[in-house]
A and B are shown apart, each in its own frame.
Chain A
Amino acid sequence: MRSKILIVDDEINILMSLEYLFKRKGYEVYIARNGNEAKNLADRYEPDLVLLDIMMPDVDGYEVCDYLKSKSTPPKVVFLSAKSKKDDVQKGYGHGADLYLLKPFSNKDLLQHIEELI
């Protein structure tokens, strides 16, 4: 069975290119442009892994991560963020993330990390 990935980012160009990247690699991909949409899609499709931006309007990435990790079968969560302070990274892991990747990243690295996680 194909692994399911949910990508959450309010930057449309990043969202579209990551969608393309993971689809080409054979993943089943869902995309959300904000936190609420991410929660809904996660409930509906039960993804194996969520790529999650932090700074988003209304519901931020931390809140989405808390929500995802409280589910009965929580998905792996990878933060993709431009927030580069040590505190930011620690906060990300504090919310239960499995990985914190700093933007910009290379597609190759990202794919490799994801393959290791699922």
Chain B
Amino acid sequence: MNLEATQEEENQATLFVKASSLLSGNEAPEIYRGSAPFPDIKSLLNNFLGNERTEKVLDRYARLNNIDWSVSPTADSRVISYAERLLSEAIGPASAKIMISSVVQREELSRSEVLGILEESQKVLRLNRELSTRSEELRKATEDLRQANYKLQELTELKDEFLYTVTHELRTPLTAIRTQSELVHDDPEMPEEDRQRFIGNMVQDCERLTRLISNVLDLEKFESGSQKLSLNRVDLGQLIEDTVTQFQALAAKKGHSLRCEISAPLTATYADEDRIAQVLHNLIGNALKHARHDNGAVWITAYRLDQDLKVNIHDNGNGIPLSDRELVFDKFYQVRNQTRRKPSGSGLGLAISKNIIQMHKGKIWIEDNPGGGAKISFTLPLYLQEAQMKNSKPHIDA
């Protein structure tokens, strides 16, 4: 049954009901004055209540009212009202009224009954509309829940993947430490030179483990938003020069050249000096790692660009494939289904750097470098107010 009414029909019904109730006042419900063939009434009840129940209720009614249906083939008004009440429970009062009317002889519906039916229909229509609104809301809520659930599943998978990556990264230095410590422990006749070598290596591996663990904890703090910045005026040019100086010894050991070109004084309004130094360490360290083995070169350029300070770190290595340019900042990038790439650091440096730069309202990306080699750039806004950064949280990719 289609219960949908047009807006026009509904408005008309409303007006009709209102007008009629004003004209007639509250009329008492009328009872049927006519009669109906008993088999017709019984057949109606059979249709909607089922044979068994019909037999039962009619028997009961007959017993209570001393009626013998076989000798009273006509149902009087009381029987009709009783039947209508039974039908109302099954199919609603309006429908019951119509069904009964169809079998009652010489009986017409009173105006108030028609109005009652209209009112009921209107209610049903309204309920129907409300129901369809509700079910639309429910459908939307279900869809939202489904989406949220999907996101949660995805996050869980990413977390699992991260955990897998981290344990994988822990296992490598741990293996070296275990093997070497057992060698030293189990071999009292080990030559002193070898002993020193293994112990020195173990110290290195322990440092690597420590770095990895503190990087994981750092990243967790950034992503959960619990990492706060300690803001001061920072001379970025000086900071770059200091960092480059710290790396000169490593560059010389590798035979790489390392230089920087800084144009004019570069003073950011506010920045967390230690965190920006951490970014520079990560980027310069990476560049030295990936520069060419022979005649490796790393150079840093920094200058003002509109309302930003821009820093570029170049190396002359193999560069970063176009397809990986977004991925390299992803903390899950390193190990996901890969067997050919093993990070020599924690593998989290770029993910951490991205978080730090974004907390400063800056940007970090891999720049096109037609000359070959990799070029990583980042910007820091020049005129950032302290208040603007207080509530800044890094963007979380996961």
Contacts and interface: CB of A to CB of B under 8 A. Distances in A.
Contacts of A103: 171-172, 174-175
B172 A11 contact: yes
A21 B183 contact: yes
B175 A104 contact: yes
B253 interface: no
Interface in B333-379: 335, 338-342
A116 to B, nearest CB: 19
A61 interface: yes
Contact of A104 (B164, B178, B340): B178
Contact of B342 (A56, A62, A105, A107): A56
B175 A14 contact: yes
Contact of A82 (B172, B178, B179, B338): B172
A62 B339 contact: yes
Interface string A52-65: 00111111111000
A97 B338 CA distance: 19
A70 to B, nearest CB: 19
Contact of A56 (B178, B198, B340): B340
Interface string A67-104: 00000000000001011110000000000000000111
A20 B339 contact: no
Contact of A24 (B169, B174, B187): B187
Contacts of B397: none
For chain B, the bracket of interface size reads 20 to 34
A61 B339 CA distance: 8
Tell me what chain A mostly uses at the interface: helix, strand, loop, or mixed. loop
A106 interface: yes
Nearest to B343: A55
B194 A20 contact: yes
Nearest to B185: A107
A13 interface: yes
B172 A17 contact: no
A46 interface: no
A18 interface: yes
B183 A20 contact: yes
B179 A104 contact: yes
Contact of B338 (A20, A55, A85, A107): A55
Q: Most A CB atoms within 10 A — which of B168, B176, B341?
A: B176
Contact of B179 (A57, A58, A107): A107
Contact of A55 (B180, B194, B197, B340): B340
Please give me the 5 A-B residue pairs with the lowest Cβ-Cβ distance, nearest first: A82-B171, A60-B339, A13-B176, A103-B175, A104-B175
12 contacts: A13-B205, A14-B172, A14-B175, A17-B201, A55-B339, A60-B339, A84-B168, A84-B171, A103-B172, A104-B171, A104-B174, A105-B178
Interface of B: 164, 167-169, 171-172, 174-180, 182-183, 186-187, 194, 197-198, 201, 204-205, 335, 338-342
